[in-house]
Amino acid sequence: MLSSLPEQPWHLPAPLPALHAGGTGDPLDPSALEGLGLPDELLAVLLRRGFSSSAAIEVLLDPAPAPDAYGHFADLALAVARLQRSCAGAEAVAICGDYDADGMTSTALLVGVLQRLGARPVAAIPSRQDDGYGLNAPMVERLEAGGVRLLVTVDNGISARGALDRAQELGVEVILTDHHTLPAEHPPYLALLHPACTPEGSPYRGLAGVGLAYVLAQALCLQLQRPDALAVALDLFCIGTVADMAPLLGVNRRWLMDGLPRLGASGLPGLQALAQVAGLEEGPMEATTIGFQLAPRINAVGRLGDPRLVVELLTTEQRERAMDLARECEALNRQRKELCEAIEAEAVALVEADGPQRPAFLLLAQGHWHHGVIGIVAARLVERFGRPVALLASEGHGRLRASVRSPKGFAVDQALQECAELLERFGGHPAAGGFTVRAERVAALQERLEGLAQGWLAKRGEGLPLEPEAHLPLGRIDRAFWQQMRRLEPFGVGLAAPLFWCSRCRVLEQRLLRGGHLQLTLEQGESRLRAIAWRWQGQGPVPEQVDVAFRLRLDRWQGQERLQLELAGVRCSGGGEVLLRRRERSYWCRRQGEGLLIRNAAGEEVQAAIAPTGTAGGEHPYIRSLLQEAAVALGLVA
């Protein structure tokens, strides 16, 4: 979503050393960088992200194969041996997952593999509404009463102390696979697969729940010499990993690069049916397609329905049944959208009813809001208002349950820890969390959270800062550039799609589309491109000449493909002059002929030529760095 023009500060990147200015040496060996074949704008993005040598970039472009998992997971052999006995004896095994996309795909992965290997797996996922998160003691008791003597948790379990103690009392063995925070004292278990228990620097450190399930399934299939049983497991790994926003580095990146190209021709009837109802065309599937098209439909079931629907969808071999289940997912996703729109409208009205002065922390409560979607709406409000947000809905018995989201820099988990004595229970990570609170403590909680957010907001300032990574003129955007950018895929957490910016674009046409989206036609020189701003919140028309921050996308519509800009920010162009501030000093910079002109507050001026490499020189280090910064700000270098 785009903020309105006046509210979004831009932080342009620091200058880089010339990429092809001659000279040798690591990390910026120009000849080695040039040998990668990437455009300067993409090299600038990678260098600014910390890929400081050609060797590091080569590893990104072609990650090493996954190393032997037994050397990274100490309990893997024990877990495989126990599951091997289950397969040999056709034993009932409970797969206890979570109700999000990661947990549901993890459950489906192990259920499908164990069925093929001879065990009798049972999907056991708690209800979001009735049970809450994770394995619980009543679930353990019901499963044990049904004859289950082995539980395998996926995407949960490490914090389920009460449930695991009860399993131990009942003689039920437990294999834990989880990636959530390890407690100080481990609960009882037979075996544990957890990324944090791998050696420092392990490429397995970034695995989500579905990645751990894949490690376990792969090791078991190799032990039993049944690679056929693993046939579609990589497909589910791709879906769950992208949906859970796991970091796309290490083995995650290697396996996604192996699995995504074949995902469009998956042998899973359920995945084919889900793609069909989502209106996806046949062919290779990208990570963004999973994130924006498939994952919401899967997650909608966990938010509003029975998660076992997704497990059946992703394990059935009957195409007609798969299509029926996919249509149920689609119906729940439509319901999810309607609920989100209604709750968002209510929440925005509550915020705006208090006038233009908004609290540093937005805490909003309505008893009728649906627990399954308030997290989505909280994230939208963060984008809209640039503040941490907590949305609360009634849990009954005088309690409210909340979902919390925050902008970068405000740590949700630390804030909730500061409020621990006011909360019934809580958890989360820096960007998101949740809690349960008694109604009579909400006012005190709001005051505490407001105090924590005020100091943070005072330092950061209003509006979510926009941080473009490289200047990209419209004339540089073509299919050749797009193909080079695709070499960096898959994009996601840990490796987001590059955020470019372009200066002094002329707005030829602007049109507000249904749903509040803004479409622009931009011109720069002889180049024209279409741009789209999703859920545009700007006030009034866009100026005739603008700077734009954007991600480059390939738009597919009715069999046609075209490159377009997905806008993240728009600001008025500065008339060819930019203002740089360094501490208490101000400098006005503009291009003059083939060089740069910088003027200070006293009217003193410095001129410099722009080198063929696109950089500006200067005798004094301060002047040289100022000229280089001005060259970036004016869009003269990447």
**Where do the domains of the chain lie?**
9-20+469-572, 69-332, 354-459, 577-633
Find out whether 302 and 104 touch, Cβ atoms under 8 Å. Answer: yes
For 9-20+469-572, which CATH class? mainly beta
| Res 112 pLDDT > 70 | yes
Long-range contacts of 452-461 (CB under 8 A, 24+ apart): 452/361, 452/415, 452/418, 453/359, 453/360, 453/361, 453/387, 453/388, 453/410, 453/415, 454/360, 456/360, 456/409, 456/410, 457/360, 457/387, 460/407, 460/409, 461/9
Q: What is the pLDDT of residues 313-348, one digit of tens each?
A: 999 999 999 999 999 999 999 999 999 999 999 999
Segment (H or E) for 383: helix 374-385
Q: Between these two residues, 605 and 508, which has the higher pLDDT value?
A: 508
| Mean pLDDT score of the chain | 87
Is the pLDDT at 604 greater than 70, yes or no?
yes
Contacts of 138 (CB under 8 A, 6+ apart): none
Q: Look at 432 and 540; give whichever has higher pLDDT.
A: 432
Q: At what angle do helices 295-304 and 319-352 cross, to 10 degrees?
A: 80
CA angle, residues 96, 98, 101, in degrees to nearest 5: 125
Cα separation, 117 vs 99, whole angstroms: 25
> Residue 502 — pLDDT band, cuts 50, 70, 90?
very high
Overall average pLDDT of the 393-405 stretch: 92
Distance between CA atoms of residues 580 and 602, nearest Å? 15
Binned at pLDDT 50, 70 and 90, residue 1 comes out as very low
Share of the chain above pLDDT 90, in %: 58
- DSSP state letters, 489-504: PPPBTTBPPP-EEEEE
How far is Cα 31 from Cα 22, in angstroms, rounded to an integer?
8
User: How confident is the model at residue 508, as a pLDDT?
Assistant: 93
Predicted pLDDT at 575: 58
Band of residue 30 on the pLDDT scale cut at 50, 70, 90? low
Over residues 496-501, mean pLDDT: 94
- How confident is the model at residue 619, as a pLDDT? 60
> Is the pLDDT higher at 428 or at 47?
47
- Could you say which DSSP state residue 549 is in? E
Q: How does pLDDT run across 45-93, given as a tens digit for each residue?
A: 999 999 888 888 999 999 999 999 999 999 999 999 999 999 999 999 9
Most confident of the following: 1-10, 329-338, 570-579: 329-338
- The pLDDT of residue 28 is 58
Name the DSSP class of 10.
B
> In the prediction, which pLDDT does 614 show?
46
- Quickly state the pLDDT bin for 274 (edges 50, 70, 90): very high
Give me the numbers of helices (H) and strands (E) for the chain, helices first please: 20, 20
Q: What is the dihedral of CA 567, 572, 577, 579, to 10 degrees?
A: -90
Q: Is the dihedral of CA 278, 218, 68, 244 positive or negative?
A: positive
- Summarised one tens digit per residue, pLDDT across range 198-256 is 999 999 999 999 999 999 999 999 999 999 999 999 999 999 999 988 889 999 999 99
Residue 483 has pLDDT above 80, yes or no: yes
Task: Write out the two tokens for 534.
Answer: 């999703």
In terms of Cα–Cα distance, which of 435, 414, 416 is closest to 425?
Answer: 435
Kindly report, residue by residue over 346-374, the tens digit of the pLDDT: 999 999 998 888 899 999 999 999 988 99
pLDDT at residue 481 tops 70: yes
At 3 the pLDDT is 42
What pLDDT sits at residue 613? 45
Weakest-pLDDT range from 221-225, 485-489, 611-615: 611-615
In 3D space, the residue among 398, 335, 397, 346 whose CA is nearest the CA of residue 372 turns out to be 335
For residue 104, CA distances in Å to 139, 245, 493, 555 come to 17, 15, 20, 30
pLDDT of amino acid 561: 82
Look up residue 617 and give its two tokens: 């020189």
Determine the topology of domain 69-332 in CATH.
inorganic pyrophosphatase (n-terminal core) (3.90.1640)
Torsion on CA atoms 353, 356, 358, 364, rounded to nearest 10 = 20
User: What is the reported pTM?
Assistant: 0.83
Average pLDDT, integer, range 532-546: 78
Q: Which of 511, 514, 545 is nearest to 531 (CA)?
A: 511
Phi and psi dihedrals of 163, rounded to 5? -65, -40
What confidence category does residue 128 fall into, taking pLDDT thresholds of 50, 70 and 90? Answer: low
Which pLDDT band holds residue 621 (cuts at 50, 70, 90)? confident
The sign of the CA dihedral 501, 46, 466, 238 is positive
Distances (CA, A) of 285 to 108, 275, 480, 594, 623: 20, 10, 20, 45, 49
Instruction: Let me know if domain 354-459 sits in CATH 3.10.310.30.
Output: yes
